[in-house]
Structure 1
C-alpha cells in the first residue's frame, strides 16, 4: 500500500501545475496518469520524425518574467526554464478576405481601416479606451494570490492598495462581455471579430464570455511591444518542463496508471484505487484534474449527496473537436507563410456553429526541430464546435466510422487549401482525430472541450467539494479555456493546501 501526502488524478497542465507547486512547497506528491504520455489535452506525440501538438497552439506571456500568465508563474516558482521563440503575426481567412493580423493595437487599426474605413478605427479606439481601466482591474489580483481559506486575507491583502484603486471597475468585469461591447461597438466586422476572440477564449460568443476574460486578453494582447510565444519543442516541451519541476522537488508521475475510484472512508477522501487493484493512500488530499463529469464517475455511491451529484452532472458542456495532423513536404512553400491561421466560413451561421471556425497551426515554421529537414508538421482542428451526437455509439473499427471521418474532416482540408492549395499532394503522414479519439485518449466526457457556462447564468463549479479531502483543478474549475486558466486552477489548490508563509514566499519568488 503506497502512501503520499497528495495524490493527483490526471497529468493535464492543471494537475501538473498543482503537483509541481505542491512539491516545491515540500509535499510528497504522486500524479496518476491513465495515458502513457503526460499533458492531457496539451500532450504531444511523434510519428516518423514529425512532432505533433495535440492541443494548444497559441501562447503568450511565457517568454518573459514577471508575467501575468499563471503558467509562467508556476515555472518561475519551481525554477524551470522554458525557451520560446517569439512572433506577432497570424493569418486570417475570413468572409471579408485573407489578411495577416498581429497583436498590438496599431496593426489591427491598419487592418480595420483597410477593411471598414476610418469610422471603424474610431470605434475600435473608443473600445480600447473603455477597456484600458478594465484590463488594469483584470490583472490587479493575480490568481496566484488566491487560496480558499482564511489565509487569503493575508495573500490577497498585499494587493489591497491596487484593489482599492480598481474597485469601481470590478463590478463591470462581472457578467458577459457583450454588455460592454454592445455599448461601444456597432460595426459588424468588429462585433464579429470580438465574438471570434471570445469563442477562442471560452468556447462561447461574447454573450456568454466573462468580461474579465476579455479584459485580461486586452491587457496582454494590446499592450506596447507585445509578442506571442511558442515553446521550443512544442507543447511537449511545456509539459516536460512541468514534469521536471515536479520531479526536481521530489514528486513522482506514474504513467499508464488508471484511477478506477476515489477511496472514501469515514466520509473523507483518503486515496485512490487503481485499475489493477492497488491503492495509493493520501495523507492530506486527493486532487482531481479530471473534468467535472469524469470526477463524478470516480466517486463511490453515497460519497456525495444526490443533489450535488445531479447539479454537477448538469454542468453544460462545449462540443468536441475534429483534428487533422499532417506531416508534409515543405519544398516550394512561401518563405513568409504564417505559422497560425484562423478560418471562418460564414459569420451569419454564428461563431460557434458546427465546423464554422477552423484553426490551422504550422509550428515547424517557428521551430524547425519539430519536423525532418524540408518538411512541416501541421495541426488543423475545429475548436470545440464538433457535435458529439454525430459520433455517439459508432464502432471505431467500422466502415461507417471511417466514412464519417472522411466526411467530417473535409472542412479542415478545405480550410487548409486556402493556405496551401496543393496540400493533399504534399502529405506524407495523415492522421484524423474525432470526438471519440478525444474521449478515448484524454478521458474527456463525450470528448468535450470543457464547461460551457455562460457568464450571465452562473459560476464555474470551483475547486472545493462537499467531500472532505477531495479538491478539483483543471478547466472545470476556473473560467477560461486554455493554459493560463488551468495553471491558475492548479496554483490555487496548491496554495490552499500550503501554509500561508510559504504562499507569501512564492508570491515574492515570482515577482508579485
Structure 2
C-alpha cells in the first residue's frame, strides 16, 4: 500500500482543476457543473428506453451490443484479461489505460450510451449534457489534471475553447461577473463586501510582516498538492519506484503542510478566514468540488483549485463537442489499443471461483471470464447485490454500505429560441438563495450552464441549450417509493423544478416563452438511468472516523477492484480519472507503468 505520507496530497490535490497554458484566452464566462443523466420529459412524452437507445450513435467499430432476440440462445461465453463493469469515466480511464498497457480489456455498459454520469444525448439538433462542464488543464501537455494525464497516455488530443469568467447571483449583492486569474475578484470584494474582505483575500499592498492574506496562505498547500501527479501512483510496494523521481519535490515541502492536505479545509483555515462572505464563498467552492462544504472537503483539493483559479492569467476550458468529447476520446483510446466496449450489456453477477473474482454474468446468461481482474465502476452500493453471499467479509460490506452518500439532483434541460439574446451571454451562472441555510441545504444552490454559448455546435443555429440543476443537494427521501407515472410524482416534479426555472430566469428573464424542448430529471430519473442507488452523486467522509484515506482500488475479494465516485477519492471528473488510473497502474508491472509515466511527465 502507498502510505498516507506519500499519497495524501498526491491524489486529492490532483483531483482538483488545473491551469490551462493556452497562449490565447478569449475572456468568456463559466462556473462548475457536476453530474447527471438522460432525464424524463416533464410532458407526457417521457423518455423511453427505445428513445434512449437512439439518442446518440458511436462508430460501430468501437462498440458491440449484447441484445438477445426473443427465443435466441444465450451467447457463448468469452474470455478476456480484464472486464470492467460500467463505462463511466473511472471505468473508461482504467480500461483504456489497461489496454494501453497491453491487456485484453472488455468494458460492459448496461445502457446504449457510454459515459455514465458524463454522457450526452441528442434531440432535434440539441446536444444535452448530463454531466460536468467546468474543466481546466485537460489539453495541457504535460497536464496536472488526471483526466488530461490519461488522455496524454492514450495519445488522444482534446480540442478546447478557453474562457475565464462567470456570473454570480448572490442574496446580499445581487448579480455580478467574476473571473479566474488576475485580481478581478479583489475588485468584486471591495465593491460589494468592503475593503476588509478584499484585504483578507489579497492584501494590496502586501500584508505586514508576520501576516498573510488568504491567497498567500494557500500557496504552500497548492505547491505540496501538486508535488506528485496522480498518474504516478499505484497501490503496491512498487509505488516506491514509480514515485521516487518525485521525492525531491515531495520532501521539499514542510511536513506540517503535507499533513494538512488530508485535513478538512475548515480546520486548516480556522484562524485564516474571518470575513463572513469569504467563509461562505469558500464553503461554496468546496461544495461545488466535492459535494460537501469546507468541513467535509480535503484541504488538498480546494488548495490546488484555489491557486489554479486565482493565479495570473488563469483560464478554464470547455471541450469542443461538450462532455461527450471526453467520453469519445477515452472510447477511441480503448479501441485503439485493442479494447472492446460492449453496450447494452447489463452485468447481473460477479462470478467468484476459487476465492477470487473470475468474471461476470450478463443478463441473458452470457459469461465474460476475466483471467486478471474484474473492475467495478458501479457504485459500491450497487456492486453489493452483484456479489455472491459470503464472498466478502461482512465487516467490509457494512463499512461500505454505511459510507456517507452525497444527495441527488434535480435537473432542467431546455432547448430554446435564442433570437435577440446578447452575444456576450455567460456560459455559467451560479445562484445562492440564502447563505444562512448553508450551501448544502436542499435547493439552496442552483447552477446554470448554457454550453452553446461557447460551442454553437451543441444547438441548432439561432438556438441555445441550457442545463440547470441543484448540485447534489436534492434529498432522495422525498421521492422514495413514488410511482413515476403517478399524478403525485408529476406534481412534485413541477414543484421541485420551479427553483431551477427561477435560476435560469436570472440569466434569461423570458426563458419560459422561448422554450422548444423541456426535460425535467429527478433523483428517480438518475437512479433509473444511471443505475445508482438513491440517485446519489457519490460518497464522501474519507477523513472521518472509519473512512479511508488510502488511494487504493483494492477490495477484500481477490481480483475485484473498485473505481468511480463512490470510492476514494470521490466525486468529480479529476477524482474518478485519478482513481481509474491508480487501479490500472496497480495491475501491471512497474516497468510498464514507468513507460507511460515517462511519456506523460516529460
TM-score, with structure 2 as normaliser:
0.84
Q: 1:485 aligns with which of 571, 575, 580?
A: 575
How far off is 1:498 after superposition? 1.2
Match of 1:146 in 2: 233
Give the conservation status (yes or no) of the 8 Å contact 2:542–2:549: no
Partners of 1:420 and 1:165 in 2: CA distance: 50
Partners of 1:501 and 1:356 in 2: CA distance: 50
Q: SS of 1:34's equivalent?
A: coil
How far off is 1:400 after superposition? 1.2
Structure 1 unaligned spans of 5+: none
Give the conservation status (yes or no) of the 8 Å contact 2:447–2:470: yes
Give the conservation status (yes or no) of the 8 Å contact 1:6–1:27: yes
Match of 1:291 in 2: 379
Q: SS of 2:312's equivalent?
A: coil
Partners of 1:456 and 1:469 in 2: CA distance: 28
Partners of 1:150 and 1:449 in 2: CA distance: 32
Give the conservation status (yes or no) of the 8 Å contact 1:474–1:486: yes
Counterparts of 1:138-287 in structure 2, within 5 Å, are: 138-168=225-255, 169-287=257-375
Counterparts of 1:59-74 in structure 2, within 5 Å, are: 59-74=135-150
Counterparts of 1:355-394 in structure 2, within 5 Å, are: 355-394=443-482
Match of 2:594 in 1: 504
How far off is 1:452 after superposition? 2.8
Partners of 2:182 and 2:117 in 1: CA distance: 31
Partners of 1:411 and 1:119 in 2: CA distance: 33
Match of 1:46 in 2: 122
Give the conservation status (yes or no) of the 8 Å contact 1:201–1:480: no
Match of 2:31 in 1: none
- 1:306 is the counterpart of 2:306: no
Match of 1:23 in 2: 99
- 1:97 is the counterpart of 2:182: no
Partners of 2:570 and 2:141 in 1: CA distance: 22
Give the conservation status (yes or no) of the 8 Å contact 1:284–1:469: yes
Give the conservation status (yes or no) of the 8 Å contact 2:215–2:307: no
Q: SS of 1:465's equivalent?
A: coil
How far off is 1:511 after superposition? 2.0
Give the conservation status (yes or no) of the 8 Å contact 2:139–2:157: no
Give the conservation status (yes or no) of the 8 Å contact 1:6–1:28: yes
Cα-to-partner distance string for 1:192-225 (whole Å, 9 max, x where unaligned): 1000000011111101111111112123222222
Cα-to-partner distance string for 1:445-473 (whole Å, 9 max, x where unaligned): 10001113164443358411010000111
Match of 1:474 in 2: 564
Please tell me the root mean square deviation across aligned C-alpha atoms, in Å: 1.1
TM-score, with structure 1 as normaliser:
0.98
Partners of 1:422 and 1:398 in 2: CA distance: 30
Give the conservation status (yes or no) of the 8 Å contact 1:269–1:468: yes
Give the conservation status (yes or no) of the 8 Å contact 1:209–1:455: no
Closer, same or farther: CA 469–480 of 1 in aligned 2, 3 Å: closer
Counterparts of 1:438-449 in structure 2, within 5 Å, are: 438-449=526-537
How far off is 1:63 after superposition? 2.8
Match of 1:337 in 2: 425
Cα-to-partner distance string for 1:352-396 (whole Å, 9 max, x where unaligned): 000000000000000000000000000001000000011101111
Closer, same or farther: CA 224–507 of 1 in aligned 2, 3 Å: farther
Q: 2:90 aligns with which of 4, 11, 14?
A: 14
Q: SS of 1:510's equivalent?
A: helix
Match of 1:56 in 2: 132
Closer, same or farther: CA 26–167 of 1 in aligned 2, 3 Å: farther
Q: SS of 1:31's equivalent?
A: strand
How far off is 1:40 after superposition? 0.4
Match of 1:2 in 2: 78
Give the conservation status (yes or no) of the 8 Å contact 2:227–2:250: yes
Give the conservation status (yes or no) of the 8 Å contact 2:168–2:431: yes
Closer, same or farther: CA 397–261 of 1 in aligned 2, 3 Å: same
Give the conservation status (yes or no) of the 8 Å contact 1:178–1:206: yes
Partners of 1:480 and 1:9 in 2: CA distance: 18
- 1:121 is the counterpart of 2:211: no
Match of 2:163 in 1: 87
How far off is 1:226 after superposition? 1.2
- The range that moved more, 116-125 or 358-367, is 116-125
Give the conservation status (yes or no) of the 8 Å contact 1:317–1:452: yes
How far off is 1:329 after superposition? 0.2
Match of 2:483 in 1: 395
Partners of 2:307 and 2:234 in 1: CA distance: 24
Q: SS of 2:421's equivalent?
A: coil
How far off is 1:102 after superposition? 0.8
Cα-to-partner distance string for 1:45-90 (whole Å, 9 max, x where unaligned): 0111100110112111123211100000100100011111010001
Closer, same or farther: CA 455–337 of 1 in aligned 2, 3 Å: farther
Q: SS of 1:165's equivalent?
A: coil
Partners of 2:415 and 2:549 in 1: CA distance: 38
Give the conservation status (yes or no) of the 8 Å contact 2:182–2:313: no
How far off is 1:334 after superposition? 1.6
Q: SS of 1:35's equivalent?
A: coil
Give the conservation status (yes or no) of the 8 Å contact 1:61–1:220: no
Partners of 2:182 and 2:225 in 1: CA distance: 18
Structure 2 unaligned spans of 5+: 1-76, 203-212
